[in-house]
């Protein structure tokens, strides 16, 4: 690799983009968040055609495109780890100091997993198939972080 | 020009256009247009081979929206493609879908354009178009008063201002007949003088009343091969041709390159290829991407290859009204509704609806055999699309 480029008197322009945004969560997403916030319950939607309970809930089933917006069902606040990874590089956009565990968790009664933080366990002790339960945040932010994290529990 | 096979538009769907759609998220809003397009084509998502998706880069501050919009688009397991060419995105989506079907790669393609402008920061996104060394610290976004100044210089202040305001009021009268349009103000001609004086000035004589809206909305269209289109649809709108032309700004538009309007260039090329010698007579209707009523008025001259003040007369004598000899934007146009990634597609969709006879209350009172649609974006990017009632090639 050449490394002898002449960069004397070469000017670089420092820049910064400001791109503020607001996301309209929609009726389905809004009901999921308000139910989580106000009642500490996790809601999914059921697609009878595909015989699946989908969490996170969505207006349409991506498999058959049917409207599921009134097919609500409650799923458990406990579930099992179906996969996980350990985040080891620090960055200011990370939700936690490293190392921390991001796990895919399939809640009781759901057919699809959600991604969340898995804590109160050392990363090397996490195993696929282990039982976990939601720990709700003390203070609401009306986001998915109203579940503060998941922790191991008895199966 | 040689086309491998003909392509017909057989379905059109549009969400309602509005300044705010708080009750739906992006995939939900897109799904409204997709459901209507599939219903209008008499198809289900299983009949679609490929999805083409597009919007403006950076406008909602989202990356790869086509992937998570799958919930609304139905793209799961299908071939798909994302197109993002700025303001012209919607027209480029049509061009891409046309190519995908004409080439023989797919028989049925669903193209989707969307924007939720209220969720992002439009000027912040647009400003990043400019070269970081020469333009970015000077760039102000999409508003410009140049055309108003040029028209006032060429035709005098009174006539130019009257024409721009008449164009604006005509477009609003059209929008009043389109229940999906965003801004339906109910303007009447006797308000013209008051609006010309009192509407807030944006840049020079470009005033708030002249300028297009910022809208949320989605448009979806179904394209099919000639064999499928003929079997599935009584009257498809056929794609005869389309031409794309654009120019870089810092070294080209503002530089010392010869001044040539991309609109006029694209129009000349399109008419030449399609054997059109008198566009005003041979084309029955025009859906123009008119970001302001100054641009809409001025650009008529470019698109129709007119000279002098012919374009002003067309506005002054109501020729461009819905029941005029050369109807422009029976939908109300971009001044009424502007969900940017969908906007240029809506022009083609509305032209197609007029050919198909499915425009409802804003259907023009004559048979539309040949319709023109334009797309516009930065910098001086033009896409012109010609649709026909008869199978073209």
* Residue B260 pLDDT: 67
Q: How far apart are CA B60 and CA B83, in angstroms?
A: 16
Question: A93 lies in a domain?
Answer: yes
**Looking at CA atoms only, how far is residue A153 from chain B in angstroms?**
32
The predicted-structure confidence for A11-59, as pLDDT tens digits, reads as follows 988 888 777 888 999 999 999 999 999 999 999 999 999 999 999 999 9
The predicted-structure confidence for A88-121, as pLDDT tens digits, reads as follows 999 888 999 999 999 999 999 999 999 999 999 9
The predicted-structure confidence for B109-118, as pLDDT tens digits, reads as follows 999 999 998 8
Nearest chain A residue to B216, by CA: A24
Q: How far apart are CA B134 and CA B250, in angstroms?
A: 7
Nearest chain A residue to B124, by CA: A19
**Looking at CA atoms only, how far is residue B15 from chain A in angstroms?**
15
Comparing B305 with B125, the larger pLDDT belongs to B305
The predicted-structure confidence for A129-149, as pLDDT tens digits, reads as follows 999 999 999 999 999 999 999
Taking Cα atoms as reference points, which of B28, B46, B44 lies closest to residue A60? B28
Total Cβ atoms within 10 A of residue B273: 13
* Residue B145 pLDDT: 85
The 8-class DSSP code of residue B210 comes to G
Long-range Cβ contact pairs of B126-134 (< 8 A, separation 24 or more): B126/B378, B128/A17, B128/B58, B129/B86, B129/B378, B129/B379, B130/B249, B130/B250, B131/B250, B132/A13, B132/A15, B133/A13, B134/B250
The CATH number of domain B7-123+214-223, selected from 1.10.3720.10, 3.40.50.300, 3.40.47.10, 1.10.246.90:
3.40.47.10
Calculate helix-pair angle for B293-303, B146-155, nearest 10 degrees.
Answer: 70
Sheet with B79-83, strands from edge to edge, namely B79-83, B50-54, B108-116, B216-225, B7-14, B237-245, B381-388, B370-377, B285-287
The predicted-structure confidence for A3-21, as pLDDT tens digits, reads as follows 788 889 999 888 887 778 8
* Residue B250 pLDDT: 73
**Residue appearing with tokens 């374009």:** B311
Question: Mean of the per-residue pLDDT values for chain B?
Answer: 94
Half-sphere exposure of B352 (CA within 13 A, CB side): 32
Tokens matching residue B327: 């109807």
Asked if residue B123 has pLDDT above 80, the reply is: no
Taking Cα atoms as reference points, which of B363, B372, B346 lies closest to residue B282? B372
Q: What is chain A's percent helix, strand, coil content, to nearest 5?
A: 15, 30, 55
% of chain B with per-residue pLDDT over 90: 83
- Which residue of A21, A62, A65 is in closest CB contact with B60? A21
**Looking at CA atoms only, how far is residue A41 from chain B in angstroms?**
22
Question: A147 lies in a domain?
Answer: yes
Calculate helix-pair angle for B293-303, B262-274, nearest 10 degrees.
Answer: 40
* Residue A1 pLDDT: 67
Contact B53, B110 (CB under 8 A): no
Question: A89 lies in a domain?
Answer: yes
CB–CB of B61 and A21 under 8 A? Answer: yes
- Which residue of A18, A22, A64 is in closest CB contact with B119? A22
Contact A152, A120 (CB under 8 A): yes
**Residue appearing with tokens 């191991």:** A152
User: What is chain A's Cα-based Rg?
Assistant: 21
Can you give the residue ranges of every domain in chain B? 7-123+214-223
**Residue appearing with tokens 């322009």:** A13
Give residues with Cβ within 8 angstroms of B380, minimum separation 6: B246, B247, B249, B253, B261, B262
- The number of folded domains in chain A is 1
CB–CB of A24 and B21 under 8 A? Answer: yes
Q: What is the mean pLDDT of residues B190-200?
A: 96
Asked if residue B277 has pLDDT above 80, the reply is: yes
CB–CB of A24 and B61 under 8 A? Answer: no
* Residue B258 pLDDT: 59
Question: A10 lies in a domain?
Answer: no
Tell me whether 0.95 is exceeded by the ipTM. no
The predicted-structure confidence for B50-108, as pLDDT tens digits, reads as follows 999 999 988 888 888 999 899 999 999 999 999 999 999 999 999 999 999 999 999 99
Question: A90 lies in a domain?
Answer: yes
- Which residues, in sequence order, are bridge partners of residue A106? A80
* Residue A90 pLDDT: 92
CB–CB of A60 and B23 under 8 A? Answer: no
Question: A4 lies in a domain?
Answer: no
- Which residue of B23, B58, B125 is in closest CB contact with A27? B23
Give residues with Cβ within 8 angstroms of B168, minimum separation 6: B187, B195, B209, B210, B293, B335
The 8-class DSSP code of residue B201 comes to E
Range of lowest pLDDT (B42-56, B259-273, B293-307) = B259-273
Taking Cα atoms as reference points, which of B178, B129, B158 lies closest to residue B316? B158
Give the number of residues written for chain B. Answer: 393
Bridge pairing between strands B7-14 and B216-225: antiparallel
- Which residues, in sequence order, are bridge partners of residue B52? B81, B111
Residue B138: band (very low, low, confident or very high) from pLDDT cuts 50, 70, 90: confident
Q: Which site among B18, B20, B25 would you substitute to test the A interface, given the most A Cβ atoms closer than 10 Å to its Cβ?
A: B25
B99, B225, B314, B393 from B4: Cα distances, Å: 9, 10, 38, 9
Asked if residue B7 has pLDDT above 90, the reply is: yes
On chain B, the residues whose CB falls within 8 A of the CB of A52 are: none
Total Cβ atoms within 10 A of residue A146: 19
For A40, the domain range is 26-152
Comparing B138 with B189, the larger pLDDT belongs to B189
* Residue A155 pLDDT: 81
CB–CB of B121 and A22 under 8 A? Answer: no
Question: A11 lies in a domain?
Answer: no
* Longest CA–CA separation in chain A, Å: 67
The predicted-structure confidence for B143-153, as pLDDT tens digits, reads as follows 888 899 999 99
The predicted-structure confidence for B224-255, as pLDDT tens digits, reads as follows 999 999 999 999 999 999 999 988 777 766 66
Question: A109 lies in a domain?
Answer: yes
Residue B130: band (very low, low, confident or very high) from pLDDT cuts 50, 70, 90: confident
Asked if residue B257 has pLDDT above 70, the reply is: no
Q: Tell me if residue B17 falls in helix, strand or coil.
A: coil
Taking Cα atoms as reference points, which of B50, B72, B167, B179 lies closest to residue B116? B72
The string of DSSP letters for B77-89 reads TSEEEEE--GGGH
Comparing B252 with B386, the larger pLDDT belongs to B386
Omega before residue A99 within 30° of 0, cis: yes
- Which residue of B25, B118, B132 is in closest CB contact with A26? B25
Asked if residue B256 has pLDDT above 90, the reply is: no
Q: Tell me if residue A133 falls in helix, strand or coil.
A: strand
A39, B48, B97, B99 from B102: Cα distances, Å: 54, 15, 8, 5
């Amino acid at each position: 690799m050449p490394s002898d480029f002449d960069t004397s008197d070469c000017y670089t322009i420092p820049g910064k983009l400001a791109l503020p945004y607001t996301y309209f969560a929609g009726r389905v997403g809004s009901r999921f968040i308000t139910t989580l916030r106000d009642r500490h319950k996790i809601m999914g939607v059921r697609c009878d055609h595909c015989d699946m309970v989908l969490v996170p809930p969505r207006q349409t089933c991506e498999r058959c495109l049917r409207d599921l917006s009134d097919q609500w069902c409650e799923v458990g606040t406990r579930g099992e780890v179906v996969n996980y990874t350990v985040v080891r590089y620090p960055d200011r956009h990370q939700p936690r100091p490293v190392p921390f565990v991001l796990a895919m968790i399939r809640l009781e009664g759901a057919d699809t997993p959600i991604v969340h933080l898995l804590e109160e366990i050392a990363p090397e002790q996490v195993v696929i198939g282990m039982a976990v339960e939601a720990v709700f945040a003390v203070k609401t932010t009306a986001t998915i972080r109203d579940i503060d994290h998941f922790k191991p529990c008895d199966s | 020009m040689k086309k491998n096979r003909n392509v017909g538009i057989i379905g059109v769907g549009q969400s309602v256009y509005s300044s705010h759609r708080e009750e739906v998220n992006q995939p939900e809003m897109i799904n409204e247009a997709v459901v209507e397009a599939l219903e209008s084509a008499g198809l289900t998502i299983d009949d679609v081979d490929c999805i083409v998706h597009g919007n403006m880069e950076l406008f909602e501050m989202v990356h790869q929206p086509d992937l998570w919009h799958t919930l609304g688009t139905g793209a799961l397991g299908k071939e798909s493609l994302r197109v993002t060419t700025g303001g012209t995105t919607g027209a480029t989506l049509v061009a891409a879908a046309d190519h995908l079907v004409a080439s023989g790669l797919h028989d049925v393609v669903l193209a989707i354009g969307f924007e939720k402008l209220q969720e992002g920061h439009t000027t912040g996104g647009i400003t990043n178009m400019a070269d970081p060394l020469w333009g970015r610290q000077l760039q102000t976004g999409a508003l410009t008063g140049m055309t108003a100044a040029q028209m006032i210089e060429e035709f005098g202040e009174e006539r130019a201002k009257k024409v721009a305001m008449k164009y604006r009021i005509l477009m609003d009268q059209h929008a009043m007949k389109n229940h999906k349009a965003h801004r339906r103000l109910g303007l009447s001609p006797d308000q013209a003088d008051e609006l010309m004086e009192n509407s807030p000035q944006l840049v020079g004589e470009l005033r708030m009343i002249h300028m297009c809206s910022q809208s949320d909305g989605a448009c979806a269209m179904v394209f099919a091969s000639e064999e499928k289109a003929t079997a599935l649809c009584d009257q498809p709108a056929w794609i005869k041709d389309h031409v794309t032309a654009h120019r870089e700004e810092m070294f080209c538009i503002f530089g010392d390159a010869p001044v040539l309007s991309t609109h006029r260039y694209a129009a000349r090329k399109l008419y030449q290829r399609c054997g059109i010698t008198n566009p005003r007579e041979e084309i029955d209707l025009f859906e123009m991407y008119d970001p302001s009523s100054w641009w809409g008025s001025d650009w008529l001259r470019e698109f129709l290859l007119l000279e002098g003040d012919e374009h002003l007369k067309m506005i002054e004598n109501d020729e461009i009204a819905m029941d005029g000899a050369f109807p422009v934007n029976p939908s109300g146009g971009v001044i009424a509704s502007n969900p940017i990634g969908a906007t240029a597609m809506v022009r083609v969709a509305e032209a197609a609806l007029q050919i198909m006879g499915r425009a409802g209350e804003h259907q023009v009172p004559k048979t539309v055999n040949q319709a023109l649609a334009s797309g516009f974006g930065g910098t001086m990017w033009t896409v012109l699309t010609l649709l026909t009632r008869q199978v073209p090639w």
